[in-house]
Amino acid sequence: MSIVSQAAAPVAEEAMGIELGRRRRAGRRPTRFTPGIVVSYVLVVAYALLLALPLYWLFISAFKPRVEILGQPFTPTFTSGFDNIVEVWERLNIPAALFNSAYITVASLLLTIVLAVPAAYALARSTGRLGRFVERLYALGFLIPGFASLIPTLLLAIQIGLYADREFMILYLPASAQPLAVILLTQFMRTVPPELEESARIDGAGRLRILWSVYVPLVRPGIATVAILNFIGFWNEYIYSLVIVGANQYKRTIQVALPTLQGNQGITDYALVCAGTLISIIPVFIVYIILNRRMEEALVQGALKG
């Protein structure tokens, strides 16, 4: 079993390395700037600027007073220093809000992957009608809008005694993420050669051993993709957290805490809102930086097999 496991892992990496090497060699060829390529570069740069501009405005506005945000919206003055950050940190009890968000997000993410990986393995290796039926049943989950199940979910939380508890969100979020996670991982697992599983069986490995030692190492890019997509969704979830967990400052998430910065009578200090938003997106960037390489590998694998 150990020999099979060690031999299985490098298969995808070797194929990816060959493709990357071919692309590097192709990259040394002189580039011809045809009109089509120039237009493509211009559109790519313009699109990148459109994406970066709101982030730039958010960052510089978090370090300005409210008056300068309105008078000099795109000038990086940094007049307020860290005053806005400190005020938001104390007013919203940010440490508790960040802890609640991290607790719900990480626990939900782990539960999502623990449930999705074996389900995807079963569907990937199933060849019968039952397997196809279950896979289509998962796919039907994409057709249900998230807000459509809000009232039934609220009634369920009250019925089982978990209303206003963070633990209910840890049960609800993985359930809502299963269609996407299972369908994506099933496609990744179908790319694993069946011969590897047969070799492992000859060595005496059981189902769980094959899943853990053969499939999981080969579909790590897919798991990383599912992790990033669901982390962003779980971290930014707002409506269910507000309705079910509530606005109690000791239980609310960072996304529920931020709207309390909106002032009464329509007067809002946008400098504080920007500072709070900047704090809330930092964990998302950290997770993306950690897992983005695996996600890029998943995209390369998808391109190779496409």
* Angle of the 129-139 helix axis to the 94-125 helix axis, nearest 10: 150
Residue 174 falls inside a structural domain: yes
pLDDT digits (tens, 9 = 90+) for 233-275: 999 999 999 999 998 889 999 999 999 887 766 678 889 999 9
Range of the domain at 221: 93-261
Q: How many domains does the chain have?
A: 1
Task: Flag whether pLDDT at 9 surpasses 70.
Answer: no
Q: What is the pTM of this model?
A: 0.81
- Binned at pLDDT 50, 70 and 90, residue 3 comes out as very low
Asked if residue 304 belongs to a domain, the reply is: no
Q: What span, in angstroms and rounded, lies between the C-alpha atoms of 82 and 85?
A: 5
On the question of pLDDT at 14 being above 80, the answer is: no
Contact by Cβ (8 Å): 8, 209:
no
> Within a domain: residue 24?
no
pLDDT exceeds 90 at position 173: yes
Residue 7, pLDDT score: 47
- pLDDT surpassing 60 at residue 24: no
Position 2 confidence tier, pLDDT thresholds 50, 70, 90: very low
**Intra-chain end-to-end CA distance of the chain, in Å:** 31
Q: Is residue 137 part of a domain?
A: yes
Assess if residue 289 is contained within a domain.
no
Q: For residue 81, which phi and psi values (nearest 5 degrees)?
A: 60, -135
Q: What is the CATH number of the domain that holds 100?
A: 1.10.3720.10
Residue 9 falls inside a structural domain: no
Tens of pLDDT, residue by residue over 84-114, are: 999 999 999 999 999 999 999 999 999 999 9
Q: What is the pLDDT of residue 27?
A: 52
- Report yes or no on 252 lying in a domain: yes
Mean pLDDT of the chain, nearest integer = 86
pLDDT at residue 8 above 60?
A: no
Q: Which one, of 256, 258, 259, 239, lies nearest residue 248 by Cα?
A: 256
pLDDT band at 221 (very low <50, low <70, confident <90, very high): confident
Rounded alpha-carbon distances, angstroms, from residue 44 to 37, 41, 50: 10, 5, 10
Say if 13 falls within a structural domain: no
